[in-house]
Amino acid sequence: MKKIILKKGRDKSLLRHHPWIFSGAIKRIEGTPERGEPVEVYNATGSWLARGAYSPDSQIVVRVWTFNQDETVDREFFRCTIENAVKLRHSLPGFASNFTACRLIAAEADRMPGLIVDQYADYLVVRFLAAGVEKHKSVIVELLAATTGCRGIYERSDDAARIKEGLPEATGLLCGEMPPEEIIIQEYALRFKVNIQSGQKTGFYLDQRDNRDYLRRHAAGKTVLNCFAYTGGFGLAAAVGGAAKVTNVDSSSPALEMTVENMRLNGIEETCYENISADVFCLLRKFRAEKRKFDIIVLDPPKFADSKSHLAKACRGYKDIAILGFQLLNPGGQLYTFSCSGLMTPELFLKITADGALDANVEAAVIKRFSQAPDHLVSLPFPESYYLKGLLLQSR
């Protein structure tokens, strides 16, 4: 039996069922566990706490599988865990009828640390981002195929998180049929083309599904600036909702080319929108100099902070872009602003946004708060799973 013995007083988070154990909490390791191998975790007085996967190269040395000492991490464990996760998604309102793509497994929030599984129509895209799930990859893939009846499972484990785990990046077909180059998915009133082989993350940002739908229902007659547009999600929602004109901005020309395809797919005329390939910060400053204004502005940037050491710089980035956004709003305009950085708390994000409004000399009020779609579970013992924060602000 391989054991992890914690330092005195370092078991508090585990007693609250938080699933991470950092290197600084460990007093000693008994035995020589291999990467991804299950280990038993004990506190300083010898009481059993948890069973988890060992990762010698990561700062998170153990990711907990279970806090139940009688629960064995075997094929049956994975079968039950996967089936429960899939069953939960099928119970969500609108599943299959309102949308044909969703997150089936959300890593630690579904008791599968480091595993992301997204479903796009008849295909699954998987990301094995931690040593434990990597060690059990073949069993997990087999059970995913059996549980979902999907046509194919494609891997997109091309993420820097793999490097931190001592694992090489990996992509390619794992099971079944190779997915087509583009998959069409339904999302309420919208249809999107998704390239799961070369798109960002697993191909699309499914977590913004409900927030896009909210914008669609409130965009009629408005001029809309969609920043960090990627393949046009918010911009398409606004256009389908009857926006007077949509401007999509992204640094990626290929992503904007997919935006054109998505607009055509939904019957949007080219006169209803424009796409601009540019650095968002630079373009917003240019718009400010030109005194260009919009009724609605969407700020949905990529993650600015992936570690605590980057948080201060991320705060400056969020504040800078908030200032620019507020300055480009028409009187009475609305700013949709988001952070997908798990380290950014809702309170801190609100403060940064308020500071941005102050520096922009704009009075604004919070009309609505946004979060991730419910298939991207938020686990109560694991606050890091609540990563997407958004605010709808009304200038006045």
| Active-site choice (102, 227, 315, 340) | 340
Query: Position of tokens 């409900």?
Result: 210
d(CA 216, CA 219): 6
Nearest in space to 317 (alpha carbons), one of 333, 341, 292: 341
Residue by residue, what is the 3-state secondary structure of the chain?
CCEEEECCCCCHHHHCCCCEEEHHHEEEEECCCCCCCEEEEECCCCCEEEEEEECCCCCEEEEEEECCCCCCCCHHHHHHHHHHHHHHHHCCCCECCCECEEEEEEHHHHCCCCEEEEEECCEEEEEECCHHHHHCHHHHHHHHHHHHCCCEEEEEECCHHHHHCCCCCEEEEEEECCCCCCEEEEECCEEEEECCCCCCCCCCCHHHHHHHHHHHCCCCCCEEEEECCCCCHHHHHHHHCCCCEEEEEECCHHHHHHHHHHHHHCCCCHHHEEEEECCHHHHHHHHHHCCCCEEEEEECCCCCCCCHHHHHHHHHHHHHHHHHHHHCEEEEEEEEEEECCCCCCHHHHHHHHHHHHHHCCCCEEEEEEECCCCCCCCCCCCHHHCCCEEEEEEEC
Catalytic residue at 340?
A: yes
- 390: number of Cβ within 10 Å: 22
The residues carrying an active-site annotation are 340
